[in-house]
Amino acid sequence: MTSIQPTASTVTAAAAAAPALQAVIFDVDGTLADTERDGHRLAFNQAFARSGMDWEWSVGTYGELLAVTGGKERIRHFAALRAPELLKQPDSDAWLAALHQLKSDIYSELVRTGTIALRPGVARLIRELHGAGVRLAIATTTTRSSLDSLLVASFGDQARSLFEVIGAGDVVADKKPAPDIYHWVLRRMRLPPAACLAIEDSRPGILAASAAGVPTLITINAYTADQDFGGALSVVTDLGEPAAPARSLGGQPLNGSCVDLAQLRDWHTKAAGSRRLSPAN
Ligand code: XBP
Ligand code: MG
């Protein structure tokens, strides 16, 4: 098989014809904030306890359960393993919905009391992108009310105006790793995937974004550090702050100490160049 080795000039020429970066689409849990271990997990456990159930998800068990995206789906999965009779009752859907609603209310309360901070560099990058006129969106599996609580706690009055399109929870039937939530967001933004860049933290996240054709930056966290991020534009520890630099872990290297708009544009252009030179495209 003949392999095409792109040179710097062919990459530049190909990228020149590709769409420029117009929008950044953010994942939420694990990307904007480390919400899973000390947010969602605690809320699930409190909801179980308040409902008189003896389920308690440890940090380790919850890490395994994250392979099932979506809170309702996660509860259903666990019930199928541990207490399948619960799912055989005629009102099992209503039971599950009520339990998840309780969990979501507890999560919002946890977020409102300020126990969950944005990850390093998130507020800095979002403000830079917004100020520069880059369009912002969200594509998440999380329930809309939980997301809104996090955004208001993190961005105050600005929360509603920062993100032009928010795709969350049950607006699509098939959650990540299916690409549906990205397709939903792209349709509403009226943008081709190649004009966007996604920021995700997990394998289900990169699978969803990549299947929709959106180039993806990965910021790892404790739950996702060992996952396979093949195909990512770049993999970094976090978005970084000037006084607390991020580190490159794979893909395109990080040039400075932080992920900023110039860095995102550079990665996006390089991705466009290699896509157009790939014999598969
Ligand atoms: C992460 C998820 C969510 C949360 C729980 O979503 O899979 O299910 O764990 O949220 P993402 P809900 O990384 O796409 O933000 O209970 O509200 O579903
Ligand atoms: Mg995530």
With cut-offs at 50, 70 and 90, classify the pLDDT of residue 135: very high
Q: Do both 95 and 166 map to the same domain?
A: no
Q: Do both 24 and 126 map to the same domain?
A: yes
| CATH number of the domain to which 44 belongs | 1.10.150.240
Q: Which DSSP letter does residue 233 get?
A: S
Q: Do both 24 and 49 map to the same domain?
A: no
Question: Does residue 2 sit within a domain?
Answer: no
Phi-psi region of 251 (alpha: psi -120 to 50; beta: other; left: phi over 0): left
Confirm or reject: Cβ of 108 under 6 Å from ligand 1: no
Q: Do both 137 and 271 map to the same domain?
A: yes
**Cis before 177 (ω within 30):** yes
How many A from CA of 227 to the centre of ligand 2?
A: 12
CB 146, CB 129: distance < 8 Å: no
With cut-offs at 50, 70 and 90, classify the pLDDT of residue 165: very high
Distances (CA, A) of 7 to 4, 14, 273, 280: 9, 11, 10, 18
Write down the pLDDT at residue 280.
46
Confirm or reject: Cβ of 176 under 6 Å from ligand 1: yes
Provide the number of structural domains found in the chain: 2
**How many whole angstroms separate alpha carbon 279 and alpha carbon 236?**
28
Closest CA to 189 of 163, 155, 213, 215: 163
Q: What is the mean pLDDT of residues 42-57?
A: 98
Q: Do both 76 and 139 map to the same domain?
A: no
pTM: 0.92
What is the residue with the minimal CA distance to atom 5 of ligand 1?
Answer: 71
Q: Do both 203 and 246 map to the same domain?
A: yes
Catalytic site residue 228?
Answer: no
The per-residue pLDDT of the chain, averaged, comes to: 92
Q: Do both 241 and 139 map to the same domain?
A: yes
Q: Do both 93 and 128 map to the same domain?
A: no
The answer, yes or no, to whether residue 5 has pLDDT greater than 60, is no
Runs of H (alpha helix) within the chain: 8-16, 41-50, 59-65, 71-82, 92-112, 122-131, 144-155, 159-162, 180-189, 203-211, 261-277
Catalytic site residue 27?
Answer: yes
Q: Do both 83 and 212 map to the same domain?
A: no
Write down the pLDDT at residue 118.
97
Note down the domain range covering 222.
8-34+117-277
Confirm or reject: Cβ of 204 under 6 Å from ligand 1: no
Q: Do both 128 and 189 map to the same domain?
A: yes
Q: Do both 77 and 146 map to the same domain?
A: no
Ligand 1 atom, smallest distance to 146 CA: 17
